[in-house]
Amino acid sequence: MIAHKEEIELMHKYLDGDLREEEEEELRKHLEFCEECQNHFHELKRTITLIQSSESVRAPSDFTNHVMSRLPKEKNGMKYKRWFKRHPIVTAAAIFFIFMLSGMFTQWNQDGELVVSKQENLIVQGDTVIVPEGVVVDDNLVVKNGNLIVKGTIDGDVTIINGKLIEEEAVSGESLMASVGEINGEINSVDRMFEWLWYQAKTLFEKVFSLE
Amino acid sequence: MEQIIREKIKQVKKGDQAAYSEIVDFYQHRIFQHCYRMLGNIHEAEDIAQEAFIRAYVNMDSFDESKKFSTWLYRIATNLTIDRIRKRKPDYFLDAEIKGSEGLNMYSQLSSSEPLPSEEVESIELQRYIHKEISELPPKYRSIMILRYLEEFSLQEISGILDIPLGTVKTRIHRGREALRKRLRHV
């Protein structure tokens, strides 16, 4: 065997796909008359076939779970990130809701000052808006951060935000004041955050779906 | 698949642990099988294969994404198995006979789960014998023979996995083939 060291070297090169053409020719010629090397070559090729017929095994079914349970703890933020990734619609809705809420909240907190919709002939006394006797308001009236006393007539809806409609007689300074007038429309009184939101949503809804 | 794995690796690098489970799923059988072939023992194979995946996860930051992940993973697994073989107590080898039969029992348990054609049943005995002969090669030859002929990597890839020059791979594969030829010639 040692005598044919070179040829054996060629056989290995052949098995590794490294044999040049002239070397292949050389090996072939040698194998034609050398039975010993023929045998050796055959055994090598057979060895490879045998190795390749070796058994195969598969990992146990819970292998992945075992690995995952042994991994070091991941950073906390990742869990939320992944959750958001998996529920894009919920995430979008949540973000929208947050913006909407914060928008309304700023609007709510914008100013504590008395705001009243532009109508003529209204009297403002401190935080109270008065519709004087004999005055006819022919539009919707909105009062924010103040009370309303109606002595005249309103031909429209009345909305009072963060305040109230004073209906009964009340002592305010020198004069007696009460709402004794007429309101020919709906009266909305909003004086809490939740109601304010509800009112906003309702208004939005009406605006969106109004056929006007 | 290569592309999906690449994507998953990026996610793992960003800190998404759950993305790693798909990587484990994809490579588990190959890595487990490689460890089993190197170690010749199911329990050790499972232990080392798990360890390999954990090491890969922990060191993911040092993985160069321009290279193949499987090559890197095989390198980790191969190094761990060689470490394990070195650490084995000497008396472990005295029990080789018992260890061998244990392996056989494990194997017969495994194979009983799926029905085999009769031809294959006949060759199981032979397969065991071959496996035993491979596992008695010195580790540096064993790993190369397993990678080349059982896992069908190219010589170039093996050079990458084991981080040794191509010439050394060739020398070892020649010797490995000769060693096995002598052991298996009478089969």
Cα–Cα dist B157/B151, whole Å:
11
pLDDT at A54 > cutoff 70:
yes
CATH number, domain containing residue B105: 1.10.1740.10
Cα–Cα dist B80/B159, whole Å:
17
% chain A with pLDDT above 70: 80
The per-residue pLDDT for B33 is: 92
Q: What ipTM does this complex have? A: 0.75
Question: Which of B71, B90, B85 is CA-nearest to residue B135?
Answer: B85
- CA angle A21/A22/A27 to nearest 5° reads 100
Q: How many CB pairs lie under 8 A apart between chains A and B?
A: 115
Residues 31..70 of B with a Cβ closer than 8 Å to A: which?
A: 31-33, 36-37, 42, 45-46, 49-50, 53-54, 57-58
CB-based burial of residue A176 (10 Å sphere; 0-12 exposed, 13-18 middle, 19+ buried)? exposed
Q: Which of B29, B37, B155 sits opposite A16 (nearest CB)?
A: B155
pLDDT at B90 > cutoff 80:
no
Q: Does the beta-carbon distance from A51 to B58 stay under 8 Å?
A: no
The per-residue pLDDT for A161 is: 76
How many angstroms separate the CA of residue A56 from the nearest CA in chain B? Answer: 7
pLDDT at B112 > cutoff 60:
no
pLDDT at B53 > cutoff 50:
yes
Instruction: Give A174's pLDDT tier (boundaries 50, 70, 90).
Output: very low
Sign of CA dihedral B29, B34, B40, B46: negative
How many angstroms separate the CA of residue A98 from the nearest CA in chain B? Answer: 26
Q: How many other CB atoms sit within 10 Å of the CB of residue A201?
A: 12
The per-residue pLDDT for A205 is: 79
For chain B, the average pLDDT equals 83
Q: Does the beta-carbon distance from B58 to A72 stay under 8 Å?
A: yes
pLDDT at A175 > cutoff 60:
no
Find the mean pLDDT for residues A50-55: 81
Number of domain units in chain B: 1
Residue-wise pLDDT for B113-160, tens only, equals 444 555 555 577 888 888 888 888 998 899 999 999 988 899 999 999
State which residues form the domain around B128: 2-184
Residue-wise pLDDT for A92-133, tens only, equals 888 888 888 887 777 666 656 677 776 777 787 777 888 887
